[in-house]
Amino acid sequence: MPCRHSRLLMIIAIGLLVGLLASAAAQSTQAAAPSSSTGAASAPAAPATSAPAAPASATPTYATPAPAASVPATPAPAHSSAAPAATPDNAAAKLAEKRRETILYGIDSEIIDLLGSLDREKDGEFNADLLSLFTQSTNDKLRVTILGLFADLKWNGAEKTAIDLVTNRDSESTPLVYGALSYLAAIRSKQALSFSSVLVKEDNKSLLPALIDLMGRAGGAPEEAQLLSWFDSDNFDQNLREDTIKALGEIGSAKAAAKLDSIVEDDQEPMPSRVFACQSLAKIKDPVSVPSLIKAANGGDPYVRAAAVEALSHFSTPQSDAAIVQALRDSVANVRIAACKAAGSRGIASAFPFLKYKATSDPSSPVQIEAYKALAQLGGPAFSFLRSRIGDEKESYEIRALCFGLLASKDPGGSMPLLEKTLTAAAADTDRSLYTDFARAVAYATDAPQAGPLAKIFLADKDYLIRIAAVDWARNSKVTAFKPILADLAKNDPSGVIRRSAAAVLASL
């Protein structure tokens, strides 16, 4: 099926190649064109009406990298006119230099795009430079986005700066003060709690969601008492009440468990409140809440049922495990998905026959996929079942590749000989569609550090779109033992795309 194979290669080209080139392009002139529009998140326009999350830098929107449109269908030969292959050390240095220059001299939209890349990569190398920029910039949108990156990285180096912003809040914009409080909540700043009593008296509804979040994440007994008083207050609207429900979970308030139990059980409560109450009970982990969660898991609202099933996965009782297994029978697919995830994370052995049935016979494809993932977490006899699916020619390529990737991640010791044999056979097949699916499954794995033997098979392939799967696997699984191979690729691979991508991945390890 050559058409399908070409389509699958295009998927890898878009899914893998664009992702890697977006990272590697920073080291080459105009290799990729980031959108000038910002995709980074700023403080909520109306924070009082939304849950107080630490401001995160969302993934920015990028234009399609220019090299992807001109990449040949076969490996590009190295031409004498091409730039010399960069060594890994040079590639890392050039990437760092380019990023630092962007911070020092770039326009705000360029810097916000860079912040998105740093956030995705969880890269704090330039935090000191960004903090310096923060103190110099007058663009509150940029400053809020920088705080969002620091919050996502849980970097406490901006704590004093953020506290100064809150101290001088009367002369700063509300979104910036909100962003500072949210950052302080993300790093669980105890020092920032000194503002609590003052801000409570000010009763600034625009800042209260961030303050509630801070009190929940960093607070102690005094903050718990304040949150409990707010919980019963008639002065709070529904959004602030839900913020308080979540904060009580963050602080682990056992005193709130009975109140949250009543919300979970009450069909007259708004659905979001019941869902947030389930999530908070999961964090408090008081076993007395299990009956309430079981009741909610069998109630009329499917969103609440799914949240209750997920919450039950945080308890270790026979009753909670039994309720999770029974939720695999739920009529709503999202509830069954939650049950599959819960059964897998809990390792419930009695769920094996249910999950096996769901994997092969559930009417919902997403449920089937989650059932296979849960089986991989159970291990034992489930591994034998997954191996049998790989060789079942009646099964779809998607499922066979899924099982292939799961075994590479969860059972490399027991399954690697079979995986190598299967992969080699698929590579020799005239129709390489299944082989391409296998490559994609390994490339996207984030927890398969022992899949090196499979990656080496990909590297021997003449198609550079298959070879790049091995590079992407090394990036996603963060395999430092693969550094010598990446160094060789960065220097000697005939494809410039592979050389640049390998250098970028090597610099990130």
pLDDT at 363: 97
Q: Which domain holds residue 109?
A: 33-65+84-219
Picking from 41-45, 182-186, 228-232, which range would have the lowest pLDDT averaged per residue?
Answer: 41-45
Residue 289 included in any domain: no
Rounded CA separation 507/468 (Å): 16
* pLDDT at 24 exceeding the cut of 60: no
Rounded to an integer, what is the distance from CA 468 to the centroid of its chain?
A: 22
Among 239, 173, 185, residue whose Cα is nearest residue 210: 185
How many domains is the chain built from? 1
User: Which H or E run includes 377?
Assistant: helix 365-378
Rounded CA separation 167/171 (Å): 9
Residues 65-107 pLDDT 10s: 333 333 333 333 333 334 444 455 566 788 889 999 999 999 9
* pLDDT at 63 exceeding the cut of 50: no
Residue 19 included in any domain: no
Rounded CA separation 401/241 (Å): 45
Rounded to an integer, what is the distance from CA 375 to the centroid of its chain?
A: 22
Residues 188-206 pLDDT 10s: 999 999 999 999 999 899 9
* pLDDT at 270 exceeding the cut of 60: yes
pLDDT at 488: 87
Question: Can you name the residues that pair with 34 across neighbouring β-strands?
Answer: 62
**Residue, of 37 and 501, whose pLDDT is higher:** 501
For 362-373, what is the mean pLDDT?
Answer: 97
Residue 250 included in any domain: no
* pLDDT at 448 exceeding the cut of 90: no
Q: Which 8-state DSSP code applies to residue 289?
A: G
For 2-7, what is the mean pLDDT?
Answer: 50
For 175-196, what is the mean pLDDT?
Answer: 96
For 105-134, what is the mean pLDDT?
Answer: 96
User: Which H or E run includes 313?
Assistant: none
For 245-251, what is the mean pLDDT?
Answer: 97
Rounded CA separation 364/433 (Å): 24
pLDDT at 32: 37
% of the chain at pLDDT higher than 90: 64
Ranked by mean pLDDT, the top range of 87-96, 242-251, 426-435, 460-469 is 242-251
* pLDDT at 118 exceeding the cut of 50: yes
Would you state the structure tokens that stand for residue 20, as one six-digit string? 């890697």
pTM, 2 dp: 0.77
pLDDT at 507: 82
Residue 257 included in any domain: no
Reduce the DSSP state of residue 235 to 3 states and report it: coil
* Helices first, then strands: H and E counts in the chain: 29, 0
How much is the mean pLDDT over the chain?
A: 84
- How many Cα atoms within 13 Å fall on the side-chain side of residue 360? 13
Residue 123, exposed/middle/buried by CB under 10 A (0-12, 13-18, 19+)? middle
pLDDT at 41: 38
Picking from 64-78, 341-355, 379-393, which range would have the lowest pLDDT averaged per residue?
Answer: 64-78
Among 50, 330, 364, residue whose Cα is nearest residue 213: 50
Amino acid identity of residue 320, one-letter, is: S
pLDDT at 411: 94
Residue 26 included in any domain: no
Residue 446 included in any domain: no
Amino acid identity of residue 358, one-letter, is: K
Residue 155 included in any domain: yes
pLDDT at 318: 97
* pLDDT at 23 exceeding the cut of 50: no
pLDDT at 218: 97
Residue 95 included in any domain: yes
